[in-house]
Amino acid sequence: MKEELQIIQKFLSEFSKLVSTQADLSFPIEFYTEYKGQMKVVDAALIKNKEVLAIFEFKAGVVKINPQDFWDAIPPININYKFLVLSNGLDHYVLNVFTNALLSFDNSEDLLTHLLELPTVEEINETKESIASIIEKTVMEFEKEFVHHDHPLYEKLPDLVAHFKKEKIESSLRFDKNGQFYHLTKDIRDLTNFENQFFQLITEELEESETIYRYTTLETMFSTINHKSIRLNGIPGMNDLSEVDYVQSYRDKGFKLSDSAIDIDELNKRFILCSSSLEDDLMQWRLYGDDSKGACLVFKIKNTSRIPGLQLRKICYGIKVNGENYHPEIELINKIISDVKKQKKESFQFRALSIWKHFFKSYEYQPEKEVRLLLILARDKTIKGESILEEKLHSIQKMWCLTSSHKIVNPYIIINVDDDLLPIELTEIVLGNKSPEPVTNKKQIEQLLYENKLDNVSVNISKIDSYR
């Protein structure tokens, strides 16, 4: 076995040297990625400009590789890739996971040439036309077959069909030469691009002057007004870890996650403020307001964001069908990707799903009527997508903490309540009916607000008196 491992090590060394001659390529050995909250390792991966093109699995001592070996070797990972390479160090078998074409190579040079081979301009244009026709037909069929007339998506279907016209799709389609896939996002930072418009159609934005409610502890309420700042927590430390992987887990029934491999550095740039559209609600007080011993921060929507990396949206929930969670919006995404793969043998991705996936949850959470403010940092103190508009620094401070619930070291950010960045304005503080000394604290909080020049914020006590 030692000799077989040395053969593999020799190939890795040769292939790594070959890759190193091209600045846009990398070949990490023992490539780590996340899957359902756990780290998974791939033997190696070929990456071009941060897009995973191929993954490698090695079988030491195997003389002949059989087709079944490919199925056994496919790792459960949340990344897209075009090629799966199985190798014993001497013979390298390459499976195109979209066309199922299987080729073999006996040297590193020919192997790399094949992996990097691109279609011609004519072939790309022909494929774009075919994919556009497939997607248009898929959306039209989805509309005809949609039977859930009481679902919010039902009323949006005519707009979706109008959006997914062949001519519009074809003019927006792009071919990514790095990961060798097709997509509809010329610039992910631009909210007016085809794909971002699609996600805006299937999610619900809040109107100006609407009100949202953040139920929390007295300590958080006090910190907010004492420091005149709002805290957004990092995604890795969320209360329900399954929420982070909801879209990935749901789509796992069909195809792998559509966005590129996101390392922990990218995940740590995403921050969320959770709230609800439910006013003075008993369930919210019990779940998030310290069993009504806490407080509720009331915000008014003051504007809507034009920046992709800063979105305030109502959560889009699945529905219960035959006792199971069914999410029609994600089903449509799955169907489009699936039909392109089946009918054209090509990889199609929704690149902006990496942003919008944070606004989808299972039907089980629907009673919470959650609203989320999502902020994705770019560099320094700017927001992802802001540079396409007017880039400027904000009062953002990034810090770290140890979460009390899961004991996870997690980042969070602090933003001044009067920062123009925020699409929300603090207008009221409501004390829970079981909060300590509510009458005294009401007066004291009013005084603190006055001294901090937040005297436009009112203070009240919850009107619910049915606590057990």
How far the first Cα of the chain sits from its last, in Å, is: 68
pLDDT tens-digit profile of 34-75?
555 556 678 899 999 988 999 999 988 776 777 666 666 666
- Pair (336, 233) in one structural domain: no
- Pair (262, 384) in one structural domain: yes
- Pair (55, 162) in one structural domain: no
Domain boundary among 116, 149, 164: 116
Distance CA 268, CA 411 (A): 7
At 258 the pLDDT is 36
Distance CA 437, CA 450 (A): 20
| Residue predicted with more confidence, 468 or 292 | 292
Tokens of 357: 């996936």
Band of pLDDT at residue 120, cut at 50, 70 and 90: very high
* Domain count of the fold of the chain: 3
pTM (two decimals): 0.86
DSSP-based three-state secondary structure for 400 = strand
Kindly state whether residue 286 falls inside one of the protein's structural domains.
Answer: yes
Q: Where do the H-state alpha helices sit in 345-465?
A: 353-356, 438-451
- Pair (263, 301) in one structural domain: yes
331-347 average pLDDT score: 96
Enter the DSSP assignment of 387.
G
Q: Which helix (H) or strand (E) holds 255?
A: none
- Pair (281, 414) in one structural domain: yes
If phi > 0 it is left, if psi is from -120 to 50 it is alpha, else beta; for residue 76 that is beta
- Pair (309, 331) in one structural domain: no
Kindly state whether residue 467 falls inside one of the protein's structural domains.
Answer: no
- Pair (135, 223) in one structural domain: no
Distance CA 396, CA 284 (A): 28
At 309 the pLDDT is 82
Closest CA to 276 of 341, 399, 368: 368
| Residue predicted with more confidence, 274 or 61 | 274
Kindly state whether residue 468 falls inside one of the protein's structural domains.
Answer: no
At 233 the pLDDT is 93
Kindly state whether residue 363 falls inside one of the protein's structural domains.
Answer: no
At 468 the pLDDT is 54
Q: Residue 50 maps to which CATH number?
A: 3.90.1570.30
- Pair (283, 407) in one structural domain: yes
The fraction of the chain above a pLDDT of 90, given in percent, is 68
Kindly state whether residue 360 falls inside one of the protein's structural domains.
Answer: no
CB 280, CB 430: distance < 8 Å:
yes
| Residue corresponding to tokens 């001294």 | 451
Kindly state whether residue 359 falls inside one of the protein's structural domains.
Answer: no
Give the CA count within 13 Å in the CB-facing half-sphere of 355: 31
* Domain hosting residue 400, numbered range: 207-315+369-461
- Pair (25, 112) in one structural domain: yes
Out of 41-50, 143-152, 429-438, which region has the weakest mean confidence (pLDDT)?
41-50
Kindly state whether residue 451 falls inside one of the protein's structural domains.
Answer: yes
- Pair (241, 308) in one structural domain: yes
CB 418, CB 456: distance < 8 Å:
no
Bridge partners of 33? Answer: 40
Distance CA 191, CA 310 (A): 11
Domain boundary among 116, 135, 167: 116
Domain boundary among 116, 140, 168: 116
At 260 the pLDDT is 38
- Pair (288, 408) in one structural domain: yes
Decide if pLDDT at 453 tops 60: yes
DSSP-based three-state secondary structure for 154 = helix
- Pair (190, 131) in one structural domain: yes
Kindly state whether residue 364 falls inside one of the protein's structural domains.
Answer: no
Tokens of 330: 């994600």
